[in-house]
Structure formats: C-alpha cells, structure tokens
Structure 1
Amino acid sequence: MHESKKVVPMPELVELVAEYRRQGKRVVHCHGVFDLLHIGHIRYFRQAAAMGDVLVVTVSPDQHVDKGPHRPAFNQALRAEAVASQDAVSHAAVNLWPTAEETLRALRPDVYVKGSDFKSVESDPTGKLQREAEVCKELGIELRLTQDIVFSSTNLINRFLSSFDDDVQEFLDVFRSRYSIADIEWILEQMSKLTVTVVGDAILDDYQFCSPLGASSKEPVLVFTHEGGDLFAGGSLAVANHLANFVGRVHLFTVLGEKDSHEEFIRASLRENVVPHFAYQANAPTIRKRRYIEGYSMAKLLEIYHMDSSGLEETRDAAFREALAAQAASTDLTVAADFGHGAISPACRSVLSAGPFLAVNTQANAGNRGFHTISCYERCDFISLAEPELRLDARDNASGVSILAERVQKRTGASLLAVTRGKKGSYVLTADGVDVLVPAFVDKIVDRIGSGDAFFSIASLAAKLGVQPDVLAFLGNVAGCIAVGIVGNKKAIDRATVLKHVTSLLK
C-alpha cells in the first residue's frame, strides 16, 4: 500500500482498528513525535510490528509538540507520511489530543509499545508514560518497551538542521561544552528544596477578544465585534504560581480590594502549595487590567485599568508589614514583584531591604511610568529589570546596558543583576564585574504579557542558589521562551516543560 493511502484521519483509524479486532487480529499501537525519522525509529517500528498482526502509529500534532523552540522541524503531515513509508506500519494518523491517553481510549489496541529511550515506566521525568501506563492498566492493554540502540531526533536536528542563527548556535555549542543536561536537572532539584515568600500587587489580566468591522458611518470611530473573554491571575499571583511549580512552598502576601475582590477566583487560580496572606484595601477594587485584543493577530488595541493605587491605610499596612517580615525571616528568599500599584508601600520596601535574601523586579507600566523604579529600594540581592526599566531609572537612553547596570548594582549592593532585552536575550552582571549576554531562543511569539515575570521567577531561584551567571540567564531565557507561547497567564511554567526545552537545546 502506498504511504499516502496509509495515512488516514483519526476517526477512520478508530474504525479500522475496531474492524481488525473483530477479525481477531492483534493490533499494536505506537505513538510519538517522530520529528526526523531515524534508524532508532525504524527498529522500534519493526520490533513493535513483530508483537502483533497490525501496527498503527499516531503522530503528535504540531500544536502539542513540546520538544522546545523551533520544533517540530517537520510539520505533522510530513511526519505522518514519513512514518507511513515504513513497511512495518499498516496505518498512520495525526493524533487529535495532546498526549496518547485519550488516543488509547479511542483505539483500544491489544498492545501499546514505547521505544528504547524509556528504560522503565518510571524513567519518564514528564510523567506522561506513567499516565499512559495507568490507562493501559484500566483498559487491559499490554504495555511493552522495546530494547535497542537509542538515537535522538533532537540531537540530530541540533547538529545538522538547527534553525537558530549563527550567534545562538555558537552560544549553545559553548554552553553544551560547559554544562550537561544533568547539571541543569541538579539545579532544578535544588530549587525544589527552597521555600519562598512572594510579595506584590495582585493583578487580574482581563482579555476581551474582538474582531474589526470597520469605521462607523456616522462618527470617526472604529467598530469591533466582541468574541469572548478570559480572566487570568497575573502580577504577583502569576509569579507565585510560577515559583510554586519549582519549590516546596510559597507564601504569597498581596492586597485585594474590598470591592470586586474576585477572591474566590484568585484562590481557585493559585497552586495548591501557595499559601495566600491577603490584606484588603478599603473602598477599592482588586486591580483589573482589561485589554481589548484583536483575536487573530493578538494585537492589543486598548487597555483600561480598574484600580486604586493609593495602597493600604497605615494601620492595615503596618499589620501587613509585620506579618510579611515574620514570614520572610523563615523562608529561603523573598521575591518582590513590585508593579508600583500600592501593594508594596515605601515603608514595606524598607522592611524588605532590611530582611534576608531579596529578589526584586520593579515594573514600569502606564499606571506608574516615571514614578516607580528600582531606586525606591535601598538594598537588593538580585534584581531583574527590562532594559527600558533600567534606562528609566537612570534617565539615560544612550549609555550601554553594562554601564547602567553597574551603577544600579553599586547603589543597591546586588550580587546579581539581570536585564531582559527582548529579542536580544538577557544580560547578567555579577558583583565581581563578570558579565554575560545570553541570546533569546524564541521562534514564535503568541503573547509577551507575563514573559518577564517567568524570567524573574526562575532567575530568582537560580540567584539564591548561587549558580553561574550564564546558567541563570539561560534558565531565565528558557522560561521567557515558554511564556511567550502562552496567552496571558493561562498556564504557569513548570519544571517538566523547562526541562524539555533545556533538553531540546542541549542534546
């Protein structure tokens, strides 16, 4: 059978498998990305085919390939065609779901086979194979693991088909010579032992999606149709969720409004290991930033702030500061996600500056621009700023980033200072004057909102652990790369996804 006829839609594959089983044939199922078919895949298919009468293979759809930036190298149609070209394969289909769990439920094969890169069910750090094994047990499907030589599509693509430009490739070649995937895994494991206090503004990111109709016939007004909306937990809430996926416990100190508090939504949005400590601002709403967005391009059209940035009245702020100081003293580090909207008062900043290890990000935005910079902190251990925020603090749009970073570092006593520079990557300066520039690994941007928070979160943990500056910037850039592929703060970055990206870059 020609390979083009062997590739079928998923619903048809379900019917074919059911028919084969009615005929008494033993159906074997393989599933994977198969991005750049190689000899390891070919042997895998041959071994799997020998376990039954019919071999069917499902291919991960493009949107659910989590191998890292610039992947897949080949689209789902080409990958399915390559799989179907193998004589051992009877049928191939592009999967409809993110993982194989629902696929197994739909196909119900007799045998499910995984390749030689898995030594055991427990060896998959992502947990996907464990969940697939549970489905197999539930449905009575035999789970088998093949044993043969192991090749890596990722390694082959990185060596011969890299889509990165020369500067990025050169950095990765040098980085691979210094650090292994195991080194990064060890750092992530050390992060899991930390406890963190987070303080900052609670922000609700309100996305309203619309599409343009045109200009009004009566007034000079652009008209859009509303297509729906989403509400995300942003600001310090997002930072707490990012951190919670890497550490043991997070204590979150933030301020909600007594009016329109959205407290139920906020509590439901926080990870299980985030312990919230809420203060309440009288006669104010919880901060909500409503963005009107053209749904196809994700272009931001208009932004409206619902907030009162005057902060807590003194009695409540004093109680907030006292509780924060006590908690911070018992955790490994304090992370201040300071958006300048009143949750962290000047008195609170003084308390933080006098406390233990302090990581700070002061964000410039339309609600505070020109009034809120890193200069409001007397002391920091780690600072993360976007380049425009660094320049705003210095009132200098001409000098080099390294010169401005050194001034801030000397003034605050920070042992590490990171500057995110968008498509240029990130810059890190140590107290000893060692500086590194690490390129960005992004190939596709869905939404920039929250990428700086993701960088700041994982970089803060790396700073506390005292890792090398190039490793700190590398991990921060990986986190930022993941975040720009997510709409708003719909999903927090997590250890498994970071490790997948790291593996895709370093193999």
Structure 2
Amino acid sequence: MLAREKVISIEEMASIIESLRAHGKKVVHCHGVFDLLHIGHIRYFEQARRMGDVLVVTVTPDRFVDKGPHRPAFPEPLRVEGVASLECVDYAALNQWPTAEETLRLLQPNIYVKGSEFKNTKADLTGKIAREEKVVKEIGATLAFTEDLVFSSTNLINRYLSDYPEEIQQYLNLFRQRYSLQQVLDIIDNMTDLNVIVIGDTIIDEYQYCATIGISSKDPAIAVKYQSHDTFAGGVLAVANHVSNFVNRVYLVTVLGERDSYEDFIKSQLNHNIYPYYIYDQNASTIVKRRFVEGYSLIKLFEVYVMDGGSLSPEQEGEICNWLKKQLPQTDLAIAADFGHGAISKPIRNTLIRRAPFLAINTQANAGNRGFHTVSRYSHADFACIAEHEIRLETRDVNGKLRPMMEFLAQKLDCSQFIVTRGKKGCYIRGSSGDFVAVPSFGLRIVDRVGAGDAFLSMTALAAALKAPTEILGFLGNVMGALAVGVMGNRKSIDKQSVKNFIVSLLKEDRQ
C-alpha cells in the first residue's frame, strides 16, 4: 500500500479498528508529534508493531505542538505522510485534540505504546502520560513501553535544523554550560507559592479587522471595509492573567469607569484564581484602545483611544491606600503595571514604595501619556522593567550607551535589579551585584507585539522576587516575550506548561 493510501481520517481509523477487533485482530496504537522522523522513531514503531497484528499511528496537529514557537519544524501533512511511509505502519491519521486522551476513547485500541523515556511518569513535565495512562485503564486497554535507544527530535532539530542564527545557537550552548535545565525549571515551579498583588490600569484592547478598498472620493483618506473584530482584556488585566498561571492566587487592584465599565466582560476574561478589587470612576468610562487592523497582513492602520483623562478623588485614593496597607504585609510581591492613565496616583505610588515587601514596576510610555510618564515618578523599586525607548525618554538621551543610563537610574531608584527590553535585540539586565548581562531574543514568528512587554514583566517580576540569577532572569523574560509575540493581542495568557516546553526545546541536552 502506498504511503498516501495509508493516511486516513481519525473517524475512518476508528471504524477500521472496530472492524479489525471484531475479527479478532490485536490493534496497537502509537501517538506523538514525530517532527523529525529518526531511527529512534523507526525502531519504536517496529517494536510496537510486533506487539500486535495492526499498527495505527496518530500525529499531533501543528496547532497543538507546544514545543516552542519555532516548532513544528515540519508541517502536519508531511509529518503524517512520513509516518505512513514506514512499512511497519498500517494506518496514520492526524489527531484532533492536544493529547491522545480523547483519541484513545475514540479508537479503543488493544495496546497503547510509548517509548521507554516515558516509563517514569513523574519525569513527564506535561502530565500528559499520567492522564493517558488513566484513559488506557478506563477503556480496558494495555499500556506498553518499548525498550531501545532514545533519541530526541528536539535535540536533533536544535543541532542540525535550528531556525536560530549561529550567534543565538552559540549563546544557548554557553547558557547550558552555566545553568542546568532543571535549575531553570525549578525557578518556575518555585513561583507557585508567591503571594502577589498586581495593580494598574485596566485597558480594553479592541481589534477592528478591515480590508482596504481604496481612497475616499471626497477626502484624501483610506477607505476600509469592516470584516470582524476581537476584544481582549489588556493592560493590568493581561499582567494579572499571565501571573496567575504561575502562582496560586493573585490580588488585582484596578480602576473601572462607572459608565461603560466592561465589568461583565472583564470577569469573563480573568482567570479563576484572580481576586479583583475594583474602584469605580464616576466621571469616566473604562479605557478602550481601538486598533484598526488590515485583515490580511495584520498591519495596524491607526488607533483610537477612548479615555476621559480623569483622576481619582482623594476619597478613592484613600480607599486604595487603606486596602494596600492591609494587604501588602501578607504578600511577597507587588507588581505595578503603570500605563500612566491614572490608576496609580502619587499617594498610591508612595504607599507601594513604603509598604510593599518587594516592588516590581513598569512605566509604559504610550501615545496617551508620552512625555510626562516616566520611571522616575517612583522614588524606589526593587525591580524595574522598561523598554529602551522609555529609558531614553527618561534620560533625554537618544544615542547614548545603555549601561550608564541603567546605572544612573538604578541608583536613583535604589533599585537592585533593572531590565531594559530591546525588542528583536533581546534585553539588557543589571543584576543586584552590579553585573550586566545581555540575553538575545528567541522570537522567530511575530504575529503581534502588543502585550509582549506585559508578559515579559509578569515573568521577570516573579523571578526577581525569588532572587533568580541575573542571566536566568533575562532568559525567562525573553522566553515569555517570544511566546507572547506569537499571539494576536492578549487573546490568551501565556501558561506555565508552554513556557516549560519552550525552555526544554531550547536547552534539551543530547540523549542517545
């Protein structure tokens, strides 16, 4: 049978298996990504085939491959065809789900086979194998493991097919020599028990997708045709969602407009372990940043800010300050995601500075605040994270070297750890001992840069509170940023498992 004739749908596979089992045949099932088909896979399939009469293989779709934004290296049609081309494989199909759990329930094989590297389910970072084992028992099948040499597709791709330029591959080789994979992953796991307060401006990000249809006949203006729209929870809401994926509980403090509050939408978008504390501005609506986007290229045409530019009343400031004074002694970390739209006033800043056990800050320069909202509005921070254009605005220096600027601001803020993000150039970090480290960017596929800084802040603030080594701090931030730029706006928050999988894909050691 030709390889393409063996590629069938998952529904067809279920029907064939049912018929085979009715005729007394023993069906063996293998499942995986199979991104780079190698000798380890071939021997795995051959051993599995000897366990029964028929071998069927399901392949993870591209959209569910969570080994980092640079994977899979080969698209799903080629991966399925590659598997089907092997003589020992009888049928191959593209899976419809992220894991094999639902697949097993649908196919009902006699035996489900995994490689020997999965024998120790505790070593599986994803927890997928344990869940699949539970389903295998549920359907009355047998879970079996092959015994052979273990090769890593991830390592082979990193060594021979990496999309990263040579200088980044060299950097990763040096990073592996300085830090172990487990050391980096342990820092992420240790974030779980941190008690965190996130405070800042709520922003509703609205994307209006359009198709350009020409120039207006009346005015020299671009005419566009509406296609669709998305609404995302941005600003401090995005930061809170990111943080909540790494810790048990997050307290959120923010300001909503009393008219057009978007409160129901916000509640629907916040993760379940976020506990919000809202102050309502009677004279304002909740801030909306409406972006008009060309639907094919995803190029942003222009933005409309819906904001009243109001400020909190002294009573509202006092209410927030009193809440902070009560809660801050019970927390490990306060993150000020300050977008400069009034949610963090001077009295609130001073309360954070005096009372927070560890204060992490970001002061974003945007079109609604540029020129009067800079990091020096804070007299102290334990950790500060700003973009290069923001530090240059603060120091009024467009061409100078970053290191003297960072030294100056670190001393001015009495700030032990200071990061400047540089987009495609990565980030530059000043550590608590005065050391400076540069970490390159790991982003390859850029969909949208909006929200990447929020994701970077979320990760690095948590790591800084744990006193992570300077270089690991920047490494984790750039991993988070690389994942965030692959998402349109704040469509979804970056979860712990995606970060771990990406780190493994970057740092995985040779295994043979």
TM-score of the two chains, using structure 1 as the length reference: 0.95
Q: CA–CA distance in 2 between the matches of 1:490 and 1:102? A: 25
**For residues 93 and 108 of structure 1, what CA distance do their matches in structure 2 show?**
15
User: After the TM superposition, which residues 295-334 of structure 1 pair with which residues of structure 2 at under 5 Å, given as runs?
Assistant: 295-334=295-334
Give 1:15-94 correspondences, 5 Å limit: 15-94=15-94
- Match of 1:401? 402
Q: Does 1:164 align with 2:164?
A: yes
Amino acid at match of 2:377: C
Q: How does 1:106-505 map to 2 (within 5 A)?
A: 106-355=106-355, 356-505=357-506
Q: 1:69 & 1:395 partners in 2: Cα distance?
A: 36
Distance 1:226 1:10, change over 3 A: farther
Matched letter for residue 333 of structure 2 = L
1:404 shift after superposition: 1.5
What letter corresponds to residue 65 of structure 2 in structure 1?
Answer: V
Cα shift at 1:183: 0.5
- Normalising by structure 2, we get a TM-score of 0.94
Query: How far apart are 1:490 and its partner, in Å?
Result: 1.7
| SS of residue in 2 equivalent to 1:369 | coil
What is the letter of the counterpart of residue 174 of structure 1?
L
* Residue 121 of structure 1, CA deviation: 4.3
* Matching residue's letter, 1:428: I
**Residue 146 (structure 1) shift:** 3.1
Cα offset, 1:300, TM superposition: 1.3
Name whichever of 15-24 and 450-459 sits farther off: 15-24
**Partner Cα distance (2:191, 2:36) in 1:** 34
Describe the shift of the 1:431–1:138 C-alpha distance in structure 2 as closer, same or farther (beyond 3 A): closer
Specify the SS of the correspondent of 2:371: coil
User: Matches of 2:274 and 2:451 in 1, distance apart?
Assistant: 19
Deviation at residue 112 of structure 1 after TM alignment = 2.4
The question of whether the paired residues in 2 share the 8 Å contact of 1:282 and 1:312 is answered with no
* CA distance 1:368–1:463, change in 2 (3 Å): same
| Counterpart-to-counterpart distance in 2, 1:449 and 1:105 | 40
Give, in angstroms, the shift of residue 214 of structure 1: 2.5
Q: Which moved more, 1:138-147 or 1:183-192?
A: 138-147
Which secondary structure state, in structure 1, belongs to the residue aligned with residue 348 of structure 2?
helix
For 2:453, the aligned partner's letter is G
Q: Report the secondary structure of 1:117's partner residue.
A: helix
1:96 aligns with 2:91: no
The DSSP-based 3-state class of the residue aligned with 2:334 is strand
Q: Distance in 1 between matches of 2:118 and 2:474?
A: 31
CA contact (8 A) 2:69 2:486 kept: no
State the alpha-carbon separation in 2 of the partners of residues 292 and 488 from structure 1: 13
In structure 2, what is the Cα distance between the partners aligned to 1:116 and 1:436?
39
Amino acid at match of 1:83: V
Alpha-carbon distance between aligned partners in 1 of 2:102 and 2:218, rounded to the nearest angstrom: 53
Q: Secondary structure at the match of 1:43?
A: helix
Equivalent AA in structure 2 for residue 402 of structure 1: R
222-231 or 379-388, which deviates more: 222-231
User: Any conservation in 1 of the 2:383–2:415 contact (CA below 8 Å)?
Assistant: yes
Q: Deviations over 1:186-208 (max 9, x none)?
A: 11122112111111011111122
In 2: Cα distance, 1:153 partner to 1:145 partner: 18
Q: Alignment partner of 2:117: what SS?
A: coil
**Structure 1: distance between partners of 2:146 and 2:224:** 55
What is the CA distance between 1:81 and its match in structure 2?
2.5
Measured against aligned partners, the alpha-carbon deviations of 1:429-456 in whole angstroms (never above 9, x if no partner) come to 1243310110011110111111111111
Aligned ranges for residues 4-19 of structure 1 at < 5 Å?
4-19=4-19
Partner Cα separation in structure 1 for residue 308 and residue 148 of structure 2: 63
Deviation of 1:422 (Å): 0.5
Per-residue deviation, residues 251-288 of structure 1 (Å, max 9, x unmatched)? 11111111111112212222222111111111211111
Which string of whole-angstrom CA distances, capped at 9 and with x for unpartnered residues, describes residues 277-325 of structure 1?
A: 1111112111111112222222112211122232211111111111123
Letter in 1 for 2:433: D
Change (3 A) 1:453 1:503: same
Structure 2 gaps, min length 5 = none
1:438-483 CA distances to partner (integer Å, 9 max, x unpaired)?
0011110111111111111110111111111110000000000111
Aligned CA-pair RMSD: 1.9
Q: Distance in 2 between matches of 1:498 and 1:404?
A: 31
Equivalent-residue separation in structure 2 for 1:50 and 1:407 (angstroms): 68
Partner secondary structure for residue 354 of structure 1: helix
Tell me: CA distance 1:358–1:114, structure 2 relative to 1, closer, same or farther (3 Å): same
Structure 1: 5+ residue stretches without partners: none
Deviation string 1:354-413 (CA, Å, 9 cap, x unpaired) is 222110000011110111010100001100001111111111101011121111111101
* 1:346 to partner: Cα distance: 1.4
In percent, how many aligned pairs have the same letter? 53
Aligned residue for 2:308, secondary structure, equals: coil
SS for the counterpart of 1:201 is strand
**Structure 1 residues 294 and 102 mapped into 2: Cα distance closer, same or farther (>3 Å)?**
farther
CA distance in 1, matches of 2:284, 2:305: 12
Q: Aligned letter for 1:501?
A: F
Asked whether the 8 Å contact 2:283–2:310 carries over to 1, the reply is: no
